[in-house]
Structure 1
Amino acid sequence: MLAARLGGRAAVFGVRTGIRRTQRFPDLPELPEGRFIDLPGRGELFVADTGPREGAPTLLLFHGLATTAYLTWFSTIAELSRHHRVVLLDQRWHGRGIVSEHFSLEDCADDAAAVLDVLGIDDVVVVGYSMGGALAQVFWRRHADRTAGLVLASTAACWRTNVGDAMFYPVLGFANDRFRHRYRERVGAARAALSEIPLTAAEMSTWAWAEFRSTSAWALPEVLGALGRFDARPWLGEIDVPTAVVVTARDHAIPTARQRAMAAAIPGATVHEAPGGHASVVFDVHRWRPVFLAAVEAVVAELARTRETAEG
């Protein structure tokens, strides 16, 4: 419990410090209106669905650890939705996502597939940032028939690659097994206290802080435990869809070397380098966004070429 409290407080302090630096934010854009979708047998979660329904591939966006769909993607939704249908959702134990008995990337991937069923979408380009990048890899593994392409940003194929990780994650797993029920109670209470619909029009730092706080810090030990168990390295070479990797060159949360190793293991993956750190998606969007958008369009263009060849 002490480790969970200290980890949660450290994360809150770091994000709060960044959010106060409002000069690094763009103006808060108009966000698409979302709604709750009930997934039979799974639970209810918050989904936004915007952009044209015909033409280019649909993009399915997966957010990062301790954030929400809106907070991770607020700066890119408008641009992406000009030419693509864009679907984004709050994952389990985050924001207005499902509060389940435990957190797993596999459950999150299956939730996303169930959302596609409800929305009547056959296949998607899956886009993931940080934790969302791990989830995107798991989604391909479990739902390859629905994955047209991948965009993996500031992420890796494994979170557990050095001696420190090898010591940290087993201890965390032991603590989670003992205290998971308490974490879940706190996460559930935080979820129940949220307004029905997220605030979408306010001063930027106020909105960002409210959106960040919608995910309980008590979720972090459980989610980090799941990331510690994640390892896509044995099957990365089997990925057979167009893939782009956005590498954050000054990333201290997920070392750049791990990001590059993941990209090198995926056949045909293109690498797009952004100059900033791990939180570039929020705090350095002016430099990060053009690189990210180029990565998305690289995958979309490759899909178009592949389909033209198949039809020809």
Structure 2
Amino acid sequence: MAGLSRSEARRGGGVGAAPVALPPRRAVELADGSSVDVRFAPGANPVVLLHGWALTADVNFGHLMRPVADEYGLVAMDMRGHGRGLPLGAGERFDIAQCADDAAAVLDTLGIDQVVVCGYSLGGPVGLEFARRHRDRVRGLVFEATAMAFDSAEDKFGRVFFRGLRPFADRSGGIGRSVPLSYFWKARFKSAEVKRLWPWLRTELGQCHPRVIVDVILAEYAFDFRPHAAEIADLPTAVVVTTRDGAVPPRDQRALAASLNATVIELNAAHDVFLADPKKYVATTRSAIENVLHR
């Protein structure tokens, strides 16, 4: 397994190499002169993987990447402000639409015309915006553990909580970052796989600045794609509903599917299934990709 790239070493990118087999990483020079590290594998039906809140692509899709790369082709990058993604400038706030355009810019550089977009959690809103802004590049859409809007009772409480947290997250290395770390720390006691990966996970999750973590979830709370759903409802779409999800209510995931005329694939799992039960997660995601490719 390859060691860390120069940018990974520069950013403190992990306890040695990732403990799962991953496609190679390469630096991609974008048209605006910026550069971003991307995991890339060429293929006939490339899939763009868009990760969740406070994660890196490696964490969210580590078990999925190699099967997808081998069968379809793959592009996976960290979003702005996350991991090895493009940096956010001083005073710049995380923007979902900007992340969608970042993905399109990477495809331009790689010479890829059309992709299957696979978005997990936060990656759902980014994928929705990608489809709206770059629909001619979409061969199919796969959304997992995500929603078209985040306005449940829990979300409304979270909005108030994180707004109050933001001034402190900007000054502290612990506040903000502690939320995702705590989530996966608890998951160690439920999953042998999470426990095995914990030293690496802890380092990967620590790469995101606490202010960015807070800004990202506030951007999710402000997101509402419902007025635009009809614009992309004719695209081949599959929605993987995590039926025991405590982060994104399954009813909101099903509402997303209904709005997009999507195929629903139920996965009896919680929000951390990509780490806690990777075999089941990989099989379900591959089924969803096949569904949209053959519709």
Could you tell me the TM-score, scaled by structure 1's length?
A: 0.74
Partner Cα separation in structure 2 for residue 160 and residue 220 of structure 1: 19
The SS at the match of 2:246 is: coil
Aligned to 1:246: 240
Structure 2 residue aligned with 1:91: 79
Counterpart residue identity of residue 223, structure 2 = F
Is 1:147 aligned with 2:138? yes
Shift of 1:141: 1.2
Determine the C-alpha separation between the residues in 2 that align with 1:42 and 1:106.
20
Q: Which runs of 5+ in 2 are unaligned?
A: 1-17, 177-195
Please tell me whether the aligned partners of residues 21 and 63 of structure 2 are also in contact (alpha carbons under 8 angstroms): no
- Report how far residue 209 of structure 1 moved: 2.5
User: Do structure 1's residue 104 and structure 2's residue 100 form an aligned pair?
Assistant: no
Going from structure 1 to structure 2, the CA distance change for 1:294 and 1:166 (only over 3 Å counts) comes to same
1:143-177 deviation per Cα after TM superposition (whole angstroms, max 9, x unaligned): 11111210000000001244x5446436745765x
Q: In the TM superposition, what are the counterparts of 1:1-312 in structure 2 within 5 Å?
A: 28-41=19-32, 43-52=34-43, 55=44, 57-100=45-88, 101-162=92-153, 165-166=155-156, 168-169=158-159, 172-173=162-163, 176=166, 204-239=197-232, 240-267=234-261, 269-302=262-295
Unaligned runs of at least 5 residues, structure 1: 1-26, 188-202, 303-312
Matched residue count: 254
Quote the sequence identity (%).
36
Aligned-partner Cα distance in 1 for 2:93–2:169:
7
> How far apart are 1:265 and its partner, in Å?
1.0
Query: Aligned pair in 2 of structure 1 residues 168, 68: CA closer, same or farther (>3 Å)?
Result: closer
CA RMSD of aligned residues (A): 2.5
CA distance in 2: counterparts of 1:286 and 1:277, whole angstroms: 14
**Alpha-carbon distance between aligned partners in 1 of 2:171 and 2:132, rounded to the nearest angstrom:** 31
- How far off is 1:106 after superposition? 0.7
1:81 deviates by 1.6
TM-score (structure 2 length as normaliser): 0.78
Give CA-to-partner distance per residue, 1:176-198, whole Å, 9 cap, x none: 5x6797689x99xxxxxxxxxxx
Q: Which amino acid aligns with 1:99?
A: P
Larger Cα Rg: Structure 1 or Structure 2? 1
